[in-house]
């Protein structure tokens, strides 16, 4: 799950050199949903209208909101590794939102962990903004996307439709996200795919590795374990993403990024260890 989750950031970074960001997200979501549609309709239990509508809402929050958040940041020049670091503050967002959504108040250790996590992101991001032309406001996009994914994860865990097979829920969420992305892609100029080898290859990478691999495994894990435990594992993806981005795109690595990563990791570990069993 960590490797395929990291592949999503790398795939978006690669594809942005060949097409506008919402066109990429449109075809990633549409192809994923259409490939899953026959399986969802023929091989799974009968889908009730109420459950479908819930998955549409989760798709708008988790799939569309999260993907658009970090993809827009990458498209506007934010370093891929820093974006991965921000989005993988997901355990902290889950812990913070567990209070209003699930009624689980944060302990002192969780508050400390959250503060350390944010401090680590600020350390790494401060270095990045000083060494790139990226505006500071761009980093708000992945913050918003991560918050929406955390909210959707908690609501899906609480929802009865969470028992729906992963391939059905993923199909519905991908197709609902594709509808949203189609509107933005049309506003950007076109919804037609770019008939170039690089664009097609990038979309296939995002469909089979970043969507079926990352999101499929994420939702399978979410059905078996707590949101805090599942999202804590994803924190292993920022260093993987940073190395990939340095190798493939010559994005810079620095001691400030390493320090920020270490401080944030300490915060995530504090939050995860303070989580009560079964939550």
Instruction: Please give the model's pTM, rounded to 2 decimal places.
Output: 0.80
pLDDT computed for residue 277 by the predictor: 47
Assigned token pair, 13:
């970074």
pLDDT computed for residue 275 by the predictor: 57
Distances (CA, A) of 158 to 1, 12, 98, 101, 152: 23, 31, 11, 9, 10
pLDDT computed for residue 247 by the predictor: 86
Q: Dihedrals φ, ψ of 88, to 5°?
A: -85, 15
Distances (CA, A) of 100 to 24, 75, 93, 106, 155: 34, 33, 12, 11, 11
Assigned token pair, 37:
């549609």
pLDDT computed for residue 163 by the predictor: 66
Assigned token pair, 47:
């889908």
Q: What is the mean pLDDT of each run of 10 residues along the chain (279 residues)?
A: 86 91 96 94 83 88 89 88 79 70 67 75 67 75 88 72 77 94 93 93 94 85 74 73 83 76 76 56
pLDDT computed for residue 45 by the predictor: 81
**How many residues belong to the chain?**
279
Residue 161 DSSP class = G
Q: Largest alpha-carbon pair distance within the chain?
A: 54
Residue corresponding to tokens 């493939």: 248
For the chain, what are the domain ranges? Answer: 2-274
Q: What sign does the dihedral 221-223-225-226 (CA atoms) show?
A: positive
CA gap 26, 136 in Å, rounded: 27
pLDDT computed for residue 180 by the predictor: 95
Distances (CA, A) of 75 to 24, 103, 237: 11, 37, 20
pLDDT computed for residue 48 by the predictor: 82
Assigned token pair, 116:
């350390």
Number of H helices, E strands in the chain: 14, 0
């Amino acid at each position: 799950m960590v490797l395929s989750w990291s592949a999503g950031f790398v795939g978006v970074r690669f594809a942005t050199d060949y097409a506008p960001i919402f066109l990429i997200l449109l075809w990633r979501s549409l192809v994923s949903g259409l490939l899953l549609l026959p399986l969802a309709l023929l091989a799974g239990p009968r889908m009730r209208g109420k459950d479908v509508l819930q998955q549409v809402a989760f798709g708008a929050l988790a799939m569309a909101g999260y993907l658009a958040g970090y993809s827009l940041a990458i498209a506007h020049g934010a370093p891929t590794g820093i974006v991965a670091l921000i989005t993988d503050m997901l355990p902290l967002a889950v812990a913070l939102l567990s209070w209003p959504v699930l009624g689980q108040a944060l302990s002192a250790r969780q508050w400390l962990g959250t503060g350390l996590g944010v401090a680590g992101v600020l350390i790494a991001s401060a270095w990045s903004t000083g060494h790139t032309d990226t505006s500071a406001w761009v980093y708000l996009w992945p913050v918003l996307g991560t918050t929406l994914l955390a909210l959707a994860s908690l609501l899906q865990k609480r929802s009865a439709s969470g028992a729906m097979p992963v391939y059905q829920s993923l199909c519905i969420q991908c197709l609902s996200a594709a509808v949203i992305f189609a509107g933005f892609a049309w506003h950007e100029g076109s919804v037609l795919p770019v008939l170039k080898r690089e664009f097609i290859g990038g979309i296939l990478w995002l469909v089979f590795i970043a969507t079926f691999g990352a999101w499929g495994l994420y939702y399978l894990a979410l059905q078996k374990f707590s949101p805090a435990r599942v999202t804590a594992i994803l924190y292993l993806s920022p260093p993987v993403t940073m190395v990939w981005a340095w190798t493939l795109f010559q994005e810079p690595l620095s001691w400030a990024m390493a320090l920020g990563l270490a401080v944030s990791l300490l915060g995530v570990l504090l939050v995860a260890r303070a989580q009560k069993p079964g939550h």
